[in-house]
Amino acid sequence: MNPLTEYQVQQTRRQFFGHAGVRLGGLALGWLSASGAMRSPRALAASSQGAVHPALPGFPHFPARAKSIIYLHMNGAPSQIDLWDYKPKLKEYFDKDLPDSVRMNQRLSTMTSGQTRFPVAPSRFRFAQHGQCGRWVSELLPHTAKIVDDIALVRSVHTNAINHDPACTFVMTGSEVPGKASIGSWIAYGLGSENSDLPAFVVFTPAFPSTGNGQALYHRLWGSGFLPGRCSGVALRGVGDPVLYLQNPDGVGAADRRVMLDALNRLNQRTYEAFGDPETQTRIAQYEMAFRMQASVPDLTDLSKESASTLSLYGPNVAKSGSFAHSAILARRLVERGVRAVQVLHRGWDQHDNLPTALKNQCEDTDQPTAALIQDLKQRGLLDSTLVVWGGEFGRTVYSQGRLTEENYGRDHHPRNFCMWLAGAGVRGGMVYGDTDDFSYNIVENPVHVNDLNATLLHCLGIDHQRFTYKFQGLDQRLTGVEPSRVVKEVLA
Amino acid sequence: MTMVWMVLVSLLTTAVASRADESAPQFNRDIRPILSDNCFACHGFDPKHRKGGLRLDVAEGAYGTGKSGEVAIKPGQLEASAVWKRITTEDADEAMPPRDSHKSLSAEQRETLRRWIQAGAPYQRHWAFETPVKAEPPATPELARLPNPIDRFLRARLAREGIGPSPEASREVLIRRVSFDLTGLPPTPDEVARYLADESPGAYERMVERFLHSPRYGEQMARHWLDVARYADTHGLHLDNERSMWPYRDWVVKAFNRNEPFDQFTVEQLAGDLLPEPTQDQLVATGFNRNNVTTSEGGSIDAEFVFRYAVDRTATAVQTWMGLTAGCAVCHDHKFDPLTLKEFYSLYAFFHSAADPAMDGNISLTPPILKLRTPEDDARLAEFDGRVAQSEARLKEAYRAVVYTDPATLASPPPPQDVETIWADDDIPAGWRISASSGSEPSFVTAGAVKPFSGSRALRRQDKGLAQDVIEAGPGPMILPQSARLVAHVYLDPADPPRAIMLQYRTGEWKHRAVWGDEDLIEWGRKGTTERSHQGPLPAAGVWVRLEVEAAALGLNAGDRVNGFALTQHGGTVFWDKVGVKGRVDVTTDPRRSYLAWIGQHEGKDVAAFPEEVRKVFKETTSGKRTAAQEEVLREHFLVRECADTRVVFDPLLSAVASWRKQRAEYDGAIPATLIWKDLDQRRESFVMERGAYDRPGDRVHAGVPAALPALVAQGTNAPTRLDFARWLVDPRHPLTARVTVNRFWQQFFGLGLVKTAGDFGSQGEPPRHPELLDWLAVTFRESGWDVRGLVRLLLNSDAYRQSSRVEPEVLAKDPDNRLLARGPRFRLDAEQLRDNALFVSGLMVDHVGGKGVKPYQPPNIWEPVGFVGSDTRDYRQDSGAALYRRSLYTFFKRTAPPPFMASFDAPNREQACMRRERSNTPLQALQLMNDVQHFEAARALAERMMIEGGATADDRFRFAYRTVLARLPQPVELEEVQRAFERHLIRYRGSPDDARRVVLAGASKPSTHLPAPELAAYTLVANLLLNLDETVTRN
């Protein structure tokens, strides 16, 4: 063996059997250090040495309050008129045609473009003022109403797309056409993650009420697109293994796996010595991380150590795997463990008809756990470093789709304005931004394009969206696209 | 046609950097990447966004005097060049690139620019737009002895870098490398033995040749092309329903196996439909551009999607064959490459007139489609046609023989009488259909707690809400008699009564309803009209009650044709029995008995239910004024299909005709079909779409090609066609197609392309590492008649390919990506290969080529949590038997939730064309290879092979496993390692026989019963270990 190779081999052995985690091929060999236990939330923040998910050099671009993001995506488009955008004057317009001066012949979806009338459907739900900020909130959100002082409500979000597939793809990837990277994967790519035993970006797709009209979800909403595959969101599943293939096969225990892995590592080490391919060492590290995940994921999903008061905060479904409440408490547990990005995609918000019944059920499913998440994070001091986002892909029309009665109506897609809210790290709680006309049909003040919103989210995490690029197809790709967009500083503390 | 193309980078080659002086920066290699990345966005090809009128992509722009009066670049005079001043100044307002661009030049880049300007700032046309020239391979005495020109180019470069090539890899490594590269599978021990035994010269080449002619070669080659073609088995957007596209996939396999020349391969896929008398295969090939994602989402605007599909197809063709990222030019002139907005839409015009609809209809065969009929199919269909004709002839014969006297013409006709016709009793009549709107399937129950009213069965339904059984009539509708009363018998469960019950009847539409009980609960129809007529309170529960409703009260009249009815309830448990109609029949006025009465009923009316010719006669003629032929049309229709008294003669004959027609339709329906390309008869006009918006058409454009590329010569006198475009792509003068194609094949076998950015040959792409080699290969490939197999042979027979992949640290540091090819290529197997490898070495693989996609193992809840409720790919229904073990190429691919074995290992989701896969290395992959039932079952099956085929001792069996999995024998240390693990597993499973049994029962296939479970379990874990080795999952 020549001296150089000999040196390399020794180095490797030292790394392999030693205790210090050393970066090799982008990954760590820190597998002999204690693992599985919960880490103090931000203990590792300072050091990317030994991180399995290292940040890009120079990231974050500037100091930021938010270390993690939890994105609650209400898929299908919740009705802003029935939840947040209080329009008392609409009562007078019940069943009257939406004035042409308001509609201005704007583009409609073909589900209602053939309607002969556009009768105004005021919300049948009562609104009341809440919190010190006096925010108007619908009776459908009694729990969220209690945390309005922590959230910044944006009433003037608007988007390009009028149908679900392109609109969801747009809000999540900054492009209506499939193929781009999701916001979660961008964040994981830039900032990495502080936890070496869990993925950097975790996704939930919880169950939703049977009355909800469930649109499809797409892998691309959490996929990595052109970014490296490791940045892709990992689905924590409600049925079967929480992480795909986490469980050893039937009849194989952790000790059996350890025996196999020890032999595997030694044999792979020989391969490394024979060929010198750094990928081999990365592979050794990845098998070890897989082994650690077999312990850390069950630890993550084990709620037995949560206090009764915490559990009750999230409501009756918290223990039900695959429920929104369960996903919400796991989201907290994930950011607590230093996971960078968590996305909960809750379906069923597409109320073309029977809106009052279905929307009520959707809110009953999500309202309490959503408020609980904010309160729980706050109690633990995590809200200061966690950004929480709530919203859908577009809004809904003020006019009824189909038959309108006092009690019952439906609403079509409305990309021109909708409500989203932000809470937590760096967000100015208790404020409202942007306004719409009396029909919640046009923005009259401070429009916020989806790209502006995404620029703002990145900003909260310490990323300059202009500088955050990835070269693909000859372009410096950005989450926020090529058109100019801005950080909505007004909603930030 | 507008001929005012942008004048491009022609005439720019003012000077070419001297080859001899390697240290002088070359524009294409060294300068263009710097300028492109930092300057062209504002000082490039796109005039709209150009700042200060300055363009630096062409010499005349750079050398000219700008608006400011300065000269950007004064060749050879650094201090007189404004560019140099701007990139070196300390003044933040003057500095370039500007701060807000977030770009900056490194000291090294500045130095390169300095040397270039001082050397005269020579420009070159972008290399990829120059026609490739076949340079002589370097022929120094040392290199001349190398038989493969590839090696001469590579070695010359290596010599300059001062690095030597690596020795040839071992034969075991080589055969495994070649086998995976050419078949996607490892070699069998027999193939290895044959190769090792062949000691005569040319053994390697002969081995390569064997794999090149394996039928699996086409499967392996197709896999790569399917990424490019964005092939999948679902539509991709919204519902993401199934799409029947697999015949295209099979065509690709066949095309590679028969070594279809690449130019033909190109033309057939882009324009096979325009070839003279295209063959079935050539039409199937046009599916290439039907592979794009499509939608049928409610509310979508057609124009938007017609536009998007055309953009996708244009961008895909341009990227696949020309390696250019046309997507940029959808919205504005390309900032980096010579592709204007208008030129993009000229290319788009070739694809804009596709005949497929904007909405795919959520059906698997969105037209245009092609049925793939075999000669056998033709024969069978002809046979069915004969049967249909025969049965129709019998019908005609019977009609000629029938004797009919209209009772209305009798001197003393029979008196009127009451008749009751039953539509449903113990069952519905044959040929009718019953279904439930929701809830459980319709159910006829025999006597239980409730005895049927009539016969032996009654229809029962229980529900908490609105529910119903719907019965639809077969071929003959039910025609209402005079004074008709609709009849049904109902029994309401006293323990669980409904809140309302309803009878509904369909004529053309469902709008005749009778309701008992709460009349508001079931909201269909307008209350208080014949659409929802209230008949009173619910009938008594606990007894059978006969319901009778006057048909007229529901707006139904004598002669009306009822073709469906529904038995509806809101809540409760309800039994129905003996449903039908009662009426008074006077044969002289009954249109079902008297021909004259029937004529009288329909004359002058337009009855949609009749066949067209009958309808026409009624509409247009009156009695006494009909020709004999017209009269005959009516009479035949009446007797054959309407008259109640001739049913006994004609019904069996009619049902024979219907049955043969149905069989024919079913046979025809089962013939596979695939989406193909056709243009609309009336071509669409194409326009520049301002800012890429589908609803903002600007100037009209005509089909054409970018000015920077060779002119397109149309075959006919008319505007150029797609066929002209396809032929233009493979024209010898085209500078891109051959280069892009050989580069993709190079990438396939060497891991990275000579141009790393395989999808971008523009100025933002990476310039080639070995430009002369790339061009030599491109020209050679074209001159060979685009012989793909020949090209592959050439690559694999190079010394470069045959090198050992072992790398020393100093070489690794110098060339981490192996761009110089000083070592052999080593990389992780692709997603499909990993799964196929496990199936193959375990002996589980079912080697069947082609066919509809199969659904192997998949963990629960991959499709379901994301699938749209109404989607036909919402519930994953795993196949069983052989389908679990087919090659991965044949796995059903759902775009919005790809198979995990594909997604986890970097397969693209096939939403867009993919020119290069990533190769990631993640813990999720480790979990999958260790624990996925597919892999663990394969380990069990391999363990069985070890025990049965591997010999008597454990060592023999481990040797067998190494030979099977790695094509080599284990070294003593390795044997010891495996042995040690095996012994520990054996002790463990002997102590826990229950666990051992659980281990060996993995998967759907059953283990051999005569093998002791603890031993088999221990071997299974060893096999699992071997299947997870870095060496196993790597093609070395």
Count H helices and E strands in chain A, helices first: 11, 19
Contacts of B757 in chain A (CB under 8 A): 474
**A223 at B interface, C-beta within 8 A:** yes
The Cα B166–Cα B799 span in angstroms is 9
The DSSP bridge partners found for residue B479 are B561
What's the token pair of residue B185? 């599978």
Q: What SS3 class is residue B931?
A: helix
* Phi, psi angles (nearest 5°) of residue B697: -65, 140
- By residue range, what is the domain housing residue A113? 59-248+283-491
Nearest to A259 among B695, B898, B981 (CB): B981
Nearest to B896 among A219, A245, A277 (CB): A219
For B119-238, where are the alpha helices, taking DSSP H only?
A: 141-144, 149-161, 171-183, 189-197, 203-212, 215-228
Contacts of A163 in chain B (CB under 8 A): 238, 295, 297, 299-300
The amino acid sitting at B401 is A
Whole-angstrom Cα distance, residue A129 to residue B843? 69
CA distance B649 to A63: 91
Chain A, residues 43-102, CB within 8 A of chain B, namely none
- Beta carbons of A245 and B927 less than 8 Å apart: yes
Query: Which range has the worst mean pLDDT, A138-152, B18-32, B700-714, B763-777?
Result: B18-32
Beta carbons of B227 and B752 less than 8 angstroms apart: no
Phi-psi region of A214 (alpha: psi -120 to 50; beta: other; left: phi over 0): beta
CB contact under 8 A, B978 and A263: yes
Give the lowest-confidence range in A304-308, B460-464, B691-695, B874-878.
B691-695
The residue written with tokens 């325009």 in the block is B274
Residue B374 class from Cβ within 10 Å (0-12 exposed, 13-18 middle, 19+ buried)?
exposed
Instruction: Write the DSSP string, B125-158.
Output: --GGGSPP--PPPP--HHHHT-SSHHHHHHHHHH
Backbone angles phi, psi at B396, to 5 degrees: -65, -45
Query: Which of B905, B924, B997 is best to mutate for the A interface (most A CBs within 10 A)?
Result: B924
DSSP string, B841-900: HTT--B-----S-B-----SSSSTTTS-TT-TTSS-----GGGGGB-GGGB---TTS--H
Q: What's the pLDDT score for residue B866?
A: 82
Question: What does the alpha-carbon distance between residue B117 and residue B83 come to, in Å, rounded to a whole number?
Answer: 10
- By CA distance, what is A109's nearest residue in B? B299
Interface of A with B in 258-317 (CB under 8 A): 259-260, 262-264, 266-268, 270-272, 274-280, 282-284, 286-287, 289-290, 293-294
CA distance B715 to B867: 48
What is the C-alpha separation between A313 and B453, in angstroms, rounded?
A: 57
Chain A residue numbers touching B981 (CB-CB < 8 A): 259-260, 262-263
Which residue from B826, B859, B898 is facing A244, i.e. has the nearest CB?
B859
Chain A 154-173, residues with CB within 8 Å of chain B CB atoms: 162-165
Q: Hey, which residues does A476 pair with through a beta bridge?
A: A471
CB A240 within 8 A of CB A246: no
Q: Over the stretch A157-186, which tens digit does the pLDDT of each residue have?
A: 999 999 998 999 999 999 988 889 999 999
Q: What is the pLDDT of residues B559-615, one digit of tens each?
A: 788 889 999 999 999 999 999 999 888 888 888 889 998 998 888 888 887 899 999
**Chain B residues touching residue A5 (CB < 8 angstroms):** 808-809
Question: Would you state the pLDDT for residue B19?
Answer: 37
* Helix-, strand-, coil-residue percentages of chain A, each rounded to 5: 35, 15, 50
Q: What is the pLDDT of residues A430-486, one digit of tens each?
A: 999 999 999 999 999 999 999 999 999 999 999 999 999 998 877 789 999 888 999
B303, closest residue in chain A (CA to CA): A110
pLDDT in tens, B192-248: 999 999 999 999 999 999 999 999 999 999 999 999 999 999 999 999 999 999 999
Task: Please indicate, yes or no, if residue A95 is contained in any of the structural domains.
Answer: yes
Token output for A325: 């409440």
Residues 6+ apart with CB under 8 A from B145: none
**Closest partner CB to B977 (pick from A5, A162, A266):** A266
Q: What is the token pair recorded at B960?
A: 């067998």
A270/B1021 Cβ within 8 A: no
Please name the member of A199, A216, A239 whose beta carbon is closest to the beta carbon of B896.
A216
- The β-bridge partners of B580 are B422, B487
Q: For tokens 């967009």, what's the residue? A: A485
| pLDDT band of B713, cuts 50, 70, 90 | confident
Measured distance CA(B293)–CA(B155) in Å, rounded: 45
* A1/B contact by beta carbon, under 8 A: no
pLDDT digit string, tens, across residues A346-392: 999 999 999 999 999 999 999 999 999 999 999 999 999 999 999 99
CB A376 within 8 A of CB A313: yes
Whether the predicted pLDDT of A16 surpasses 80: no
> Is residue A308 in a domain?
yes
Report the domain count for chain A: 1
Token pair belonging to B645: 């008294």
Please give the Cα distance from A275 to B804 (Å, whole number): 9
Instruction: DSSP for B659-698, please give it.
Output: HHHHHHHHHHHHS-EEE---B-SSPPPEEEEGGG-TT-EE
In chain A, residues 319-378 whose CB comes closer than 8 Å to chain B: none
Cβ pairs bridging A and B (under 8 Å): 263
Task: Indicate whether this complex's ipTM tops 0.90.
Answer: no
Nearest CA in chain B to A239: B861
- Whether residues B928 and A244 touch (CB distance < 8 A) is answered with yes
User: Taking CB atoms and an 8 Å cutoff, what residues of chain B touch A24?
Assistant: none
A residues 103-122 closer than 8 Å to B (CB): 107, 109-112
Residue numbers in A near B128 (CB within 8 A): none
Predicted local distance difference test score (pLDDT) of residue B523: 85
B387 — alpha (psi -120 to 50), left (phi > 0) or beta?
A: alpha
Distance in Å, alpha carbon of A366 to nearest chain B alpha carbon: 17
Q: List A residues 399-458 in contact with B (Cβ-Cβ < 8 A).
A: 412-413
Does A268 contact B861 at a Cβ distance shorter than 8 Å? no
Task: Answer whether B866 sits within 8 Å of A250, measured CB to CB.
Answer: no
Cβ separation of A267 and B984 shorter than 8 Å? no
Residue given tokens 């080859």 in the structure block: B19
pLDDT in tens, B422-445: 888 888 877 788 888 777 888 888
Distance of CA B161 to the CA centre of its chain: 46
- The dihedrals phi and psi of B747, each to the nearest 5 degrees, come to -60, -40
Q: Tell which of A203, A473, A478 to mutate to test the B interface (max B CBs under 10 Å).
A: A473
Domain-located, residue A41: no
Q: Which residues of A touch B1017 (CB under 8 A)?
A: 251
Q: What is the pLDDT of residues B40-60, one digit of tens each?
A: 888 887 777 788 888 888 888
Listed in order, strand segments (DSSP E) in A250-363 are 341-346
How far, in Å, are B175, B706, B888, B889 from residue B847 at the CA level? 21, 46, 11, 11
Q: How far is B777 from chain A (nearest CA, A)?
A: 24
Query: What is the Cα–Cα distance from A450 to B691, expressed in whole angstroms?
Result: 18
CA distance A310 to chain B (A): 27
Q: What is the pLDDT of residues A192-234, one digit of tens each?
A: 998 888 989 999 999 899 888 878 888 889 988 888 877 889 8
Confidence band for B353, pLDDT divided at 50, 70 and 90: very high
List alpha helices for A24-161, DSSP H.
Answer: 80-83, 100-103
Please tell me the distance from the alpha carbon of residue B246 to that of residue B892, in angstroms, as a whole number. 9
- Chain B residues closer than 8 Å to A473 by CB: 319, 325, 327-328, 759-760
Give the DSSP letter of residue A261.
H
* Residue A50 predicted with pLDDT over 50: yes
What CATH code is carried by the domain that includes residue A451? 3.40.720
Q: Is residue A15 part of a domain?
A: no
* Beta bridge partners of residue B470, listed in sequence order: B435, B566
Residue at A72 is within a domain? yes
Tokens encoding B730? 């493979």
Domain annotation covers residue A30: no
Distance CA A262, CA B1009 (A): 31
Instruction: Give the C-alpha separation, A481 to A463, whole Å.
Output: 15
- pLDDT per position as a tens digit, B146-203: 999 999 999 999 998 889 999 999 999 999 999 999 999 999 999 999 999 999 999 9
Chain A from 178 to 217: CB within 8 A of any B CB:
178-179, 199, 205, 207, 213-217
From CA B207, how far away is CA B213, in angstroms rounded?
10
Nearest CA in chain A to B984: A259
Nearest CA in chain B to A107: B301
Q: B297–A164: do the CB atoms touch at under 8 Å?
A: yes
Is B20 within 8 Å of B115 (Cβ atoms)?
no
> Which residue is closest to A270 within chain B, CA to CA?
B974
Handedness of CA B883, B884, B889, B892 (dihedral sign): positive
Residues of B in contact with A251 (CB under 8 A): 994-1000, 1017
Encoding tokens for residue B96?
């370039």
Q: Do A214 and B995 touch (CB under 8 A)?
A: no
Q: How close A442 gets to chain B, by Cα (Å)?
A: 20
Half-sphere exposure of residue B1007: CA atoms within 13 angstroms, side-chain side: 32
* Dihedral in degrees, nearest 10, Cα atoms B242, B245, B246, B249: -140
Task: Choose between B951 and B921: higher pLDDT.
Answer: B951
User: Which residues from B are below 8 Å from A179, CB to CB?
Assistant: 911-912
Please give the Cα distance from B289 to B355 (Å, whole number): 12
Express each pLDDT in A353-364 by its tens digit: 999 999 999 999
